[in-house]
Amino acid sequence: MKSSSPDFQFLSKKAKEIRGEILKMVHRANSGHLGGSLGSADLLVALYYHIMQHNPDNPGWDKRDRFILSKGHCTPVIYAILADIGYFPKEDLLTFRRPGSHLQGHPYQPKTPGIEASTGTLGLGISTAMGMALAAKLKGESHHYYVLCGDGEIQEGQVWEAAMFANKYELNNVVAFVDRNYLQTDGHSEDIMPLDPLAPKWESFGWQVHTIDGHNYSQIIETVQMAKRSSKPTMIIANTIKGKGVSFMENQVEWHGKPTSQDEFDLAISQLNN
Amino acid sequence: MAEEIPNLVVLDADVAKATQTCDFQAVYPDRFFNCGVQEQNMFSVAAGLALEGFIPFASTFGVFATCRAGDQLRNSIAYPKLNVKIGATHCGITTGGDGASHQANEDIAITRSLPNMTILVPGDYEEAKQVTRFAAFYKGPVYLRFGRDAYPIIPLIHSPIAVGKGKLLQEGLDITLISTGIMVSEVLIAAELLLTKGISSRVIHMPCVKPLDQDIVIKAARETRGIVTAEEHSIIGGLGEAVAGTVSQFQPTWVERIGIADVFGESGQAGELMDKYGLRAKNIVDAVFRILEK
């Protein structure tokens, strides 16, 4: 956590830039996941530009905070941020989803600087983060593990295995988020496989739970501060708007995983710039 | 080994008494993590521990290690090539009474098809200790395949383990017998039976199924009249197909595969099942004659 008070204007400006890069990456690749990437951009911007201690010049710095993208399909948002911060050249974004690129469709830790864990099939990331957080406990290290899950993702049984594990081993160095946008590939989450009431589920698994507006930097940052003082692992249910920032994508399930036409792309960029 | 490697940790999924990781737990309770009945979580947790510099041994039954947690084995461990060791026990049909649901007869096939995996299958208790120790010092994902029961100790196979290296147990001119795992016992009996009939067998033991020692296989194909493989595993995707694939490319010859046919097993005692499913020395001898009579 940066000691200075958050500069909300700066974070908003960054989020707008990142959303622009997300649109460009997916449009160029003609493939990728726009909705969740745009929707979670504010969370990741708050983490990478204000909350987390990390150093792009030394990605392996052992005291760094770690971020694990458990909803691994949202690579556009994390690649855009890692490039902007300087983990790898911005030109690399041109190679997203192309043969030979280190920027795979889903995160691949051995190749991409700044990616902490390989994820992709849902549920792996939060579980892997538990192993990493346990390792930090064993070594007496005090950094934190930030995890982003999709709400559709937490329908996976493995997520609840990880939830039990965190409780057993008192992994209060884990601060996880559910990107709660109520949409998944096939439709509305409560139609596909209901998750509500979600907060009591996590509470009953022994987690501290907060529910916030996932586009409100002040709420994100203050809640993480509380989470870091918790004696339990924390789940932050972040209510978000899938496709946030582009009016015709907001809350539209069809924008989960499809690329833009040229007209759609131009319109989306013009909306971000207004 | 735990003293030599302070960052070695052990995970189990509520079968610690069966896999005997409980022995490690008794001595190193702070380095042992029982994940409960959560094989999937256990494998991803092991990946996380490896990412932070630990050397995790994650142990469960072979069926769970390859099928129940197959996604985690593939995507959390093999794909990023993490330094996780899978201690898969109760493999093969000799798992016995629990029946087909618990008999991993396809685990070698599954792990062989995963890039980055090394597969070690010991033939007896001493070699089981050898491969375990080897895996601890080897960097990368390793699948250790163990059976449930105790089998005869065969000092002949206790030469050092090396990745991609078979062990030549006996020179021979007429036929080559290649085993992995506990089938080494049956192969050695078969070689003796064949000798009484005047047939000289070259005997090779393959504790490392992947990567396969292609040189020793090609040499055998060149210098003897054919190869019989023996494994306590499906004839699909295991040692037999690895050998057949090698010789068909580099030195074509006859290959007979002794193993479990394309069927699920059933409950029974280990010995009864080895008889019924054709995993005995006499089955190997019959296969040798099928080749020599061609």
pLDDT tens figures, B139-148: 999 999 999 9
The closest alpha carbon to B239, from B214, B220, B272, B264, belongs to B214
- Please indicate, yes or no, if residue A21 is contained in any of the structural domains: yes
Three-state SS at A40: coil
CB contacts, 8 Å: B33 with chain A = 134, 169
Q: What is the pLDDT of residue A63?
A: 97
**Per-residue pLDDT at B40:** 98
Query: How close is the nearest chain A Cα to the Cα of B17, in Å?
Result: 20
Contact B44 A165 (CB under 8 A): no
Amino acid identity of A232? K
Task: State residue B195's pLDDT score.
Answer: 98
Among the partner-chain residues B44, B53, B54, the one whose CB lies closest to the CB of A124 is B44
3-state secondary structure of A64: coil
**Tokens describing residue B67:** 């099928």
Looking from the CA of B267 toward its CB, the CA atoms found within 13 Å total 2
Domain membership of residue A122 (yes or no) is yes
Question: For the domain B8-145, what is the CATH code?
Answer: 3.40.50.970
Q: Is 0.85 exceeded by the ipTM?
A: yes
Q: Tell if the CB–CB gap between A120 and B53 is shorter than 8 Å.
A: no
A15: CATH: 3.40.50.970
Chain B residue numbers with beta carbons less than 8 Å from the beta carbon of A132 are: 48-49, 51-52
Distance CA B231, CA B181 (A): 7
Q: Where are the alpha helices (DSSP H) in chain A?
A: 8-29, 34-39, 41-46, 75-85, 124-139, 157-168, 189-192, 198-204, 217-228, 262-272
Render pLDDT for A221-261 as a digit per residue (tens, 0 to 9). 999 999 999 999 999 999 999 999 999 999 999 999 999 99
B80 chain-A contacts, CB cut-off 8 A:
108-110, 117-118
pLDDT digits (tens, 9 = 90+) for A98-155: 999 999 999 999 999 999 999 999 999 999 999 999 999 999 999 999 999 999 999 9
As a whole number of angstroms, the distance between CA A92 and CA A79 comes to 9
Identify all chain B residues contacting A117, using CB atoms and an 8 Å cutoff. Answer: 47-48, 51, 80
- Under the banding of pLDDT at 50, 70 and 90, the label for residue A274 is confident
pLDDT higher than 50, residue A1: no
Instruction: Give the contacts of B143 (CB within 8 A, at least 6 positions apart).
Output: B65, B86, B88, B107, B111, B117, B118, B119, B120
According to CATH, what is the number of the domain B158-292?
A: 3.40.50.920
Domain carrying residue A37: 8-272
pLDDT one-digit tens code per residue, B62-118 = 999 999 999 999 999 999 999 999 999 999 999 999 999 999 999 999 999 999 999
Q: Is the pLDDT of residue A3 over 60?
A: no
| Residue A181: CA count within 13 A, CB half-sphere | 33
Q: Which residues contact B154 (CB under 8 A, 6 or more apart)?
A: B123, B124, B184, B185, B188
> Choosing among B7, B14, B71, B76, which should be mutated to test the A contact, i.e. which has the most A CBs within 10 A?
B76
Q: From the CA of B71, how many Å to the nearest CA of chain A? A: 8
Q: Do the chains contact at A128 and B45, CB–CB below 8 Å? A: yes
Q: What is the pLDDT of residue A4?
A: 74
Please report whether residue A1 resides in a domain. no
pLDDT confidence of residue A2: 54
Position B188 pLDDT exceeds 90: yes
Helix (H, G, I), strand (E, B) or coil at A39: helix
- CB-CB contact of B208 with B161 (8 Å): yes
SS3 letters for chain B?
CCCCCCCEEEEECCCHHHHCCHHHHHHCHHHEEECCCCHHHHHHHHHHHHHCCCEEEEEEEHHHHHHHCHHHHHHHHHCCCCCCEEEEECECHHHHHHCHHHCECCHHHHHHCCCCCEEECCCCHHHHHHHHHHHHHCCCCEEEECCCCCCCCCHHHCCCCCCCCCEEEECCCCEEEEECCCHHHHHHHHHHHHHHCCCCEEEEECCEEECCCHHHHHHHHHHCCEEEEEEEEECCCCHHHHHHHHHHHHCCCEEEEEEECCCCCCCCCHHHHHHHCCCCHHHHHHHHHHHHCC
Cα distances (Å, whole numbers) of residue B248 to B132, B166, B201, B233: 32, 19, 21, 21
Q: B2 forms bridges with which residues in the sheet?
A: none
pLDDT at A17 over 50: yes
A 91-120 → B contacts, CB under 8 A? 108-110, 116-120
**Which is nearest to B187 in space by CA: B270, B48, B109, B280?**
B280
Judged by a CB distance cut-off of 8 A, whether residue B28 touches chain A is no
Cα angle value B282/B229/B168 (rounded, 5°): 105
- Over residues B12-53, the pLDDT tens digits come to 999 999 999 999 999 999 999 999 999 999 999 999 999 999
Q: Is B231 a catalytic residue?
A: no
Select from B22, B78, B82, B28 the least CA-distant residue to B52.
Answer: B82
Q: How many cross-chain Cβ pairs, A to B, lie less than 8 Å apart?
A: 98
A17-53 burial by CB neighbour count: b if 16+ within 10 A, else e? bbbbbbbbbbbbbeebbbbbbbbbbbbbbbbbbbbbe
Determine, yes or no, domain membership for A120. yes
Which pair of structure tokens corresponds to residue B52?
Answer: 């932070």
Q: How far is CA B20 from CA A142, A165, A178, in A?
A: 33, 22, 38
Neighbouring CB atoms inside 10 A of B164's CB total: 13
- As a whole number of angstroms, the distance between CA B118 and CA B135 comes to 9
Contact A225, A144 (CB under 8 A): no
Residues of chain B in contact with residue A162, where contact means CB-CB under 8 angstroms, are 41, 44-45
The vertex-B28 CA angle with B24 and B30, nearest 5°, equals 125
Q: How far is CA B128 from CA B68, B105, B132, B207, in A?
A: 24, 19, 6, 9
Q: Beta strand pairing status for B118-120 and B142-145?
A: parallel
Backbone torsions φ then ψ of A10, nearest 5 degrees:
-65, -45
The pLDDT of B227-232, averaged and rounded, is: 98
Structure confidence by residue, pLDDT tens digits, B264-279 = 999 999 999 999 999 9
What pLDDT is attached to residue B180?
Answer: 98
Residue B54 forms contact with A (CB below 8 Å): yes
Structurally, chain A folds into a number of domains equal to 1
Domain ranges of chain B: 8-145, 158-292
